[in-house]
Amino acid sequence: MITQEAPPRGATHIRTFHPRRGRIGATRADALARLWPRYGYDIDSAYENSAYKTSGHADFDPAALFGREAGLVLEIGCGMGDATAAMAAADPGRDYLAVDVHTPGLANLLALAERGDLDNVRAARGDAVELLRDLMKPGSLGAVHIFFPDPWPKAKHHKRRIVRPDVVALIRGRLVPGGVLHCATDWAPYAEQMLEVLSADPGLRNLSDGYAPRPASRPVTGFERRALAAGRDIYDLIFARK
């Protein structure tokens, strides 16, 4: 059995994202105010009130958050939430937790979930790596999606890419056996690094020969359409925990 020991909170942690600011329009502000108390999850607040802080034992409880026992999909970086909402609507038997630091995007996701009457969607605000490391139990995730993460194109910033060996090992440890890590990017050099890092992890196996055919289950977002219009190829990588 391959395990991943999580370092304590406060240990050196390279951020994988830019802090983002954005205006929240009236509709999204209303959705956030009404829906966050029920459907939102603040990672920093959860840690301050968690057993991990005092005992080192992760205590994130999907059943308490969603009100049922079901397979859990973690969406890391949900943008404006369009893809998350569409996948949750097409996959009602599983629950979707979308993590981002962009409050307007989380608010929009909640508004989409309400409009679509989706009770299998929740939004988490904060650092996904800290959620995985400090609050989630091993083997608690059925799938993890990382769609179009920041490519950090400058060489000096490559260490900030989320698909790197230490984070991949952490994600793999939180997946159930057979659980899937699905990544997608429109940045060719990052796709090459993703393929190298994922292929090198001893606890993962590639479900395709190299890059995966684009699965119909991954919705096309506005970001992806703009990338295609700019002439950039899209690369999907789908690996499963052994």
Active site positions, annotated: 150
Residue found under tokens 């409050």: 103
Which one, of 164, 97, 106, lies nearest residue 136 by Cα? 97
Alpha carbons 187 and 193: distance in angstroms, whole number: 10
- CA dist list (Å): 38 to 64, 77, 184, 214: 11, 21, 30, 34
- CA dist list (Å): 116 to 88, 90, 109, 120, 228: 10, 11, 10, 11, 28
Could you tell me if 164 and 199 are in contact, meaning their C-beta atoms sit under 8 angstroms apart? no
* HSE value, Cβ hemisphere, 13 Å, CA-based, for 109: 33
Alpha carbons 98 and 101: distance in angstroms, whole number: 10
- CA dist list (Å): 5 to 8, 57, 94, 232: 9, 12, 27, 38
